[in-house]
Amino acid sequence: MRFFSTMIASILGSLVAFGLLIFIGALIVTAFVASSISSVQAPVASESVLTLRLSGPVEEYGISDPTYELFDLPQPQSLAQIKGALEKAADDDRIKAVWLKPQGVIAGWSTLAEIRQSLLEFKKSGKPVVASASGDLAMRESDYFLATAADSIYAAPGAFFEFNGLSLSVLFYKGLLDKLNIEPTVLRVGTYKGAVEPYTREDLSRENRTQLEAILENWNRLLTSTTAEARGMSEEHITNLMQTGALLTTDDAHEADLLDGLLSEERVRTHLQKWVESDGRLRTTSLSSYTSAVSNGSSGQSDAIGVMIASGTIVSGNSRDLNGYLGAATLEKSMKSFRENDNVKAVVLRIDSPGGSAAASEIMWQAVKETSKEKPVVVSMGDMAASGGYWLATAGDTILASPHTLTGSIGVFGMHFSLGQMMETKLGVTYDHVSTSDYADMFSGMRPLRDAERALFERSLGQIYTAFLERVAESRGMTVDAVDAIGQGRIWTGEAALHAGLVDQLGGLDDAVEIAAEMAGLEKDQYRIRRLPRPRTLMDRYLDLFMVRIRSFFESPIEAQLRAEARLLEEVVRLHATPIARFPLDFVDFD
């Protein structure tokens, strides 16, 4: 019987392996065909309209992957692609207008503001921008914010229109930990360092509520002032519309003069034809198609500005793009590449990170600092450069932030989880040990910390916090006490961080590139941009997902269930006994 079971397992394994080879080979052939099609892609037709269908997450940087077009899949959108396409389209005589279709855009307000500014820059060419939305859910606040850059805004009649203010939601796990008999011990340095709150509280602390209200006020002021200016209304009137909750349909929005008309997508298409000399049909080109058509690779310049995209939660090792991690080893490798490349004259470090491991943050700080000794390094903050992300930023020569960036959060925390009671009461697993000292099993996770052990952990966190303060003090030309006063884990918007002395000036990525070029002595248009790390293609993403599916294929139902229930425990293990310099909390929703 064992012989037959072994033989069957071997046959199945061989079949799966053979199937994997065929699948991977098919993907490679498909990618090759898609690339070939892209290389001979027809040029953009004259009298065309550039269509920007913006929905879902907006990444920092991406490439135009023709494989998405081949499979008729939505191309992942990136800030770099959107800005680059609009800049080229403004000078492209073939493009007569932009048709903006924002629907369910997921991005921070810093990114949204950069996209909107690019739309306004495009309009300086004299070409119109028309915004529209169709479907049951027409627009949310973030969508409408982008639409206010347009000359006209339309939406389908009878659709949902969410314009009722902004909120931030946070999930708390204390009740779940209590049910599982997991006992957390919380140690933090910084009054506002609230990353531990989801594990220790059932609601926001007063300090966290205060700083979150300040953040929302910054974003709300941006939304109300922008809307008021675009629609020729007072900010008080816009605020009143949001607070009364009167706008929940596109009909309400049209009556309130926030929309220029209630039109279906087909009628908007007809409306756009008046700006182009068409033969009865509207010629449109998508963001990905236009990017592919006008992409010319290298600009022909030998000199370059290196742009390092540092996005995700900071961890040791390599970046795991699929899960949103920023690996110290990946950043080190990229910085070394820029440092050793004689053609790269300066580096822009684009940070969009909530922080993470304090040790990994220091490793990356060293890599950036080593680069800054040889070449200018300018830091550009995206939606977030907080805690460990700000630690990393202090290695640069100059720091820029958007007025709406979330930064600061200078503080450290550590958590110890005791799983012993859970193991015994839920699984019937008990624990015993032998050791050479009383402290040997303090981080085993099977028992609570003793008073002496807690004091040791607190001392180590205090040392890391002091190192953090010293890094900031050296970078900003401040005393350690002055940094401590604005530290304590407090979150600052970019606007407030400028007044606090944490950043040098307000600006976006383009401003940072210009400053880096100036510091390197490069004239405008006399350099190219070289970005690292390489963006992930559709094949990269699909192979990762496919391998996850293959692994789940061999799991029993019990294993699959345990894996699903182990997600919280995985987070517990990640935080357990590790000094963390991370943004105070994870937002569930930005609207």
Catalytic residues: 193, 387
Pairing of strands 491-493, 406-408: antiparallel
Residue type (1 letter), 549: R
- Verify cis geometry, omega within 30 degrees of 0, for the bond prior to 533: yes
Q: Which residues of 104-134 are buried (b: 16+ CB within 10 A; e: fewer)?
A: ebebbbbbbbbbbebbeebbeeebbbbbbbb
What are 330's two structure tokens?
A: 């990946």
Measured CA angle at 548 (ends 547, 553), to 5 deg: 95
Asked if residue 150 lies in contact with residue 123, where contact means CB atoms within 8 angstroms, the answer is no
Total residues found in the chain within this entry = 591
Cα 151 to chain centroid distance, Å, stands at 29
Cα separation, 426 vs 526, whole angstroms: 66
Instruction: Return the sign of the alpha-carbon dihedral for residues 224, 230, 236, 239.
Output: negative
Cα 311 to chain centroid distance, Å, stands at 6
Cα separation, 142 vs 102, whole angstroms: 9
The residue whose two tokens read 């209200």 is 213
CA terminus-to-terminus distance, the chain? 60
Asked if residue 381 lies in contact with residue 494, where contact means CB atoms within 8 angstroms, the answer is yes
